[in-house]
Structure 1
Amino acid sequence: MKPKEPRFTPLLKYKSFIEDTMRQEMLNEAEKLALEEKRIFALEEIWSQAVEELKERQTRKGDPNEILMYHTYLNHLSLDIDSQRKRVIEAMERFNEKREYLIEATKERKIVEKVVEKGKKGMLDDANREEKKVMNETAQNRYLRDNC
């Protein structure tokens, strides 16, 4: 005969599955966030280098058209950096949302886990009571058989 499972074991398995799924989704969002942060860092590095080159060209009294091109390039880079900052903020919001979902899923799993443990303890207590009852009955029958 198959040992009886506590009542909420399938629910616990489901909640564990949900928690694992949420954990994986959060990790995916963390990777995306890291990638977006690397991109903004690279853009800021390029912008810094371009500013240094512009300063150098301005001190050497370079061609005005070249300096104008640098200003236009820096404006485009600034727009790209602003756009990338927005992407980083969005990625961070998605990451935080997934983290909150994971926290909630973990809480739910722990609650169900406690209920399952309580059910297991109750089943064990019932089994122990039954065993004690059988042992008492056996001892009583042996006493009656030996003394009567």
Structure 2
Amino acid sequence: MKRFQFRLEKVKKVKESREKQKAQELARQMRALELENNRLQNLLKKRTEAFLELDEAQEGSLYSNEILTYCSYINMLNQDIEQQREKIFGIQQNIGRIQLELLEASKGKKILEKLREHQYLQYLLEGYREEQKLLDEMSLITRKFREML
């Protein structure tokens, strides 16, 4: 009996490769999300510190140009924060899309794995049947030989 060969092995390898690629892409996006969240936290911290400095400065004597400088800095931070939130939102959307693609790739791979397993069991069953047929023939020949003696 010839050895088992899954006809869709190349397709299965492609599906496995695609799943691995999507998993790596998801990991990269998750790292990017973490990095961008850290940047957002830093911006929020800077804005809070700027507000605290402005409050402390207002308790003392502060010139109007210094107040304007603080306000423009805070406005700039607000714009940066908004841009950072949009960037994070975009990354989150990418992560959602990649997760769906990874799920589809995993499903395709699992289907092929189950098909391979089923075909392998059929192969083993066929081998068992062939072996049983040979054993039956051998016992028949042995019986006929004994009858002749």
Mark yes or no: TM-score above 0.5: yes
Q: Distance in 2 between matches of 1:4 and 1:83?
A: 57
CA contact (8 A) 1:8 1:115 kept: no
The one-letter code of the counterpart of 1:141 is I
Q: Distance in 2 between matches of 1:139 and 1:2?
A: 24
- Could you tell me which residue of structure 2 aligns to residue 23 of structure 1? 23
Q: Distance in 2 between matches of 1:2 and 1:19?
A: 31
C-alpha change, 1:20 and 1:93, in structure 2 (3 Å) is: same
The one-letter code of the counterpart of 1:42 is N
- Could you tell me which residue of structure 2 aligns to residue 144 of structure 1? 144
Q: Distance in 2 between matches of 1:12 and 1:126?
A: 23
How far did residue 145 of structure 1 move? 0.6
How far did residue 6 of structure 1 move? 2.2
CA contact (8 A) 2:29 2:91 kept: yes
TM-score by length of 2: 0.94
Unaligned 5+ residue runs, structure 1? Answer: none
- Could you tell me which residue of structure 2 aligns to residue 43 of structure 1? 43
Do residues 89 (structure 1) and 98 (structure 2) align?
A: no
- Could you tell me which residue of structure 2 aligns to residue 59 of structure 1? 59
Q: Distance in 2 between matches of 1:56 and 1:2?
A: 85
C-alpha change, 1:37 and 1:12, in structure 2 (3 Å) is: same
Secondary structure in 1 matching 2:61: coil
Q: Which runs of 4+ in 1 moved over 3 A?
A: none
Q: Distance in 2 between matches of 1:14 and 1:139?
A: 47
| Aligned residue pairs, count | 148
Unaligned 5+ residue runs, structure 2? Answer: none
How far did residue 147 of structure 1 move? 1.2
TM-score by length of 1: 0.95
Let me know the Cα RMSD of the aligned residues: 1.3
How far did residue 40 of structure 1 move? 0.6
Secondary structure in 1 matching 2:5: coil
CA contact (8 A) 1:7 1:119 kept: no
Q: Distance in 2 between matches of 1:57 and 1:88?
A: 33
How far did residue 95 of structure 1 move? 1.1
Tell me whether 8-17 or 65-74 shows the greater mean CA deviation: 8-17
What percentage of aligned pairs have identical amino acids?
30
Secondary structure in 2 matching 1:4: coil
Q: Distance in 2 between matches of 1:70 and 1:115?
A: 67
